[in-house]
Chains A and B, each alone.
Chain A
Amino acid sequence: MSNSWTPGAVDALRQQHNLPFVRTDEQGQVVEFNDRFRLIYGWDDGLVGQTIGMILPASFRELHHAGFSRFKLTETSKLVNHPLELATICSDGAEIRSEHFIVAERSDAGGWSFAATLRPLEGPHAC
């Protein structure tokens, strides 16, 4: 199980301007996303402060919440640092097959931050 966290991993993803990017705090609540994410998936600033589960299909949410809660206990996860073919829910409820690349990073204050690029694999913005 992966437990090595790369310093600066979140910022490295943030710099990939051609890909939708979203970041959450250690509670799993959205704190920022980029324009690409806004354009492709249609979410507006109302998403900030909401759980990241909002952009996941309902069938994934159970394992997402359980995995997130487990991470807080064990600080280990198999999901980070490699591409996962999943799906992303748009603001209008549509589902777009997408490749998620998730990273985790501990801040100097000790709290965790999670970020992901969500490369669309279908639709007009597929890349």
Chain B
Amino acid sequence: MLAEDSFSGSAEAESRALIQQMSQSLGLLRVAFDSTGEAMLILDESAAVRWANQQAADLWGGGITLQMIGRPLSALLQFHHLDRSPMGDEEPSHPLQKALTAEGRNSYLIQALSDPAPEETQLITRSVSWRQIMQIDQNFTLLIFRDLDPLEKALARQRQFIDNLAHELRTPLAIITGNLHRLKRKKQFSNTLQQSLSDAVEETQRIATLVDHLLLLSELDTDSRRWKLQIDDLQNFIGQWIVTLNPESRGCLQVIAVNETDDYQVQLDQDAFHLILDNLLDNSRRFSGSKPLIQIQFVQSVSHVELKFIDNGPGIKNDDLCVAAFERFTRIEEHRNADMADGGGLGLSLVQSLMEGMGGSASCSSPDVPTGSARLGLVVTLQFPRPKSSLGIKTSVQR
């Protein structure tokens, strides 16, 4: 009996020592997290605060971390786009929406809502990173807010410069195009001169498209694009795009739903979607020779809907080049051809940025043909997340 008591006493002492050690570790961690310059929040699945550090409390919780617990993020702070417009909780560019698909980081303007007069509160710029913390029974999202470093500030200035430059170039380009068209209509010019004018018109048009793409990319990079998200069947969105095409382009297309009974509900911005398809079509037509054939296929899965845009062009021979094709101003060397009109070098980058802006993704591949080494045709796969709202209801969400 005495031995048992002694054993139980020693076990209790060990437990106490272990608890004390853990308590000290917890205290040290708390001191460390509260000493960083970054504000940190851990949110539960309902976007309520589960954990906060002192910096976060100083910014959005009146200095008391404990009083932030259980409060919805949307009651503590409001994210704004870099153009100062408020960001909706369901917008694809909202950090919590982005965290659903992958970890990442972006710059946002943030307004504290705990202040007495939120409308007068200054917006602060923070680089916000997000990541999911997957637990067996529950998922959490970690948000880290930090001040922009000098490099990020320089990058923001550079993007603003590109934005301003593109705006400045638009008007003179429109004037040059107009004058070239007027000159082309003059009958007295020789064929050689007419050809030179046609070339000049084509090149000016290419520069104008490039400027438009640069502006759009700048908008996407700085997260200042206004998304107008709609929920509908992807096949309907495709149908609406096809009616905007000329008969020649329509003739190249074949739309195939893999299974007629499948559910292809997606949430997307129709203007962005048309831009994506316009760019893919333009790309395919340039590379597919005189008889372009394009198949559009749909594939559904639990979490997303895929659209495969398949052409009969030369494709891309290896996986590294498939990744490189989405980089800005990349041209695949083997595709350079004097007879082929050159693209702006931004088309696929734009496709990828627009897809990511809507919470989706874009990738490409060229499947092997059965005979072996050579590959034919490029397959661009667009992946759309499924809408969270109830399926089958056609709604329009304007933000």
Contacts and interface: CB of A to CB of B under 8 A. Distances in A.
Q: Do A and B bind each other?
A: yes
Interface of A: 57, 59-60, 62-74, 78-79, 84-86
Nearest to A74: B31
B26 A65 contact: yes
> At the interface, is chain B mostly helix, strand, loop or mixed?
helix
Nearest to B19: A27
A79 B65 CA distance: 9
B67 interface: yes
Interface residues of B, number: 22
Nearest to B64: A78
A84 B67 contact: yes
Interface of A is mostly: helix
Given A72-B27, A73-B27, A74-B31, A67 B50 contact: no
B53 to A, nearest CB: 10
Interface in B29-75: 29-31, 34, 50-52, 54, 57, 63-67, 69-70
Contacts of A66: 26-27, 29-30
Contact of A79 (B31, B66, B70): B66
Contacts of A60: 66, 69-70
A98 to B, nearest CB: 13
B51 A67 contact: no
Contacts of A67: 30, 65-66
Given A63-B51, A70-B34, 13 more contacts: A62-B50, A62-B51, A63-B69, A64-B66, A67-B65, A69-B23, A69-B27, A69-B28, A70-B26, A70-B30, A73-B27, A84-B64, A85-B67
Nearest to B28: A73
A59 B50 contact: yes
Contacts of A65: 23, 26
A73 B27 CA distance: 7
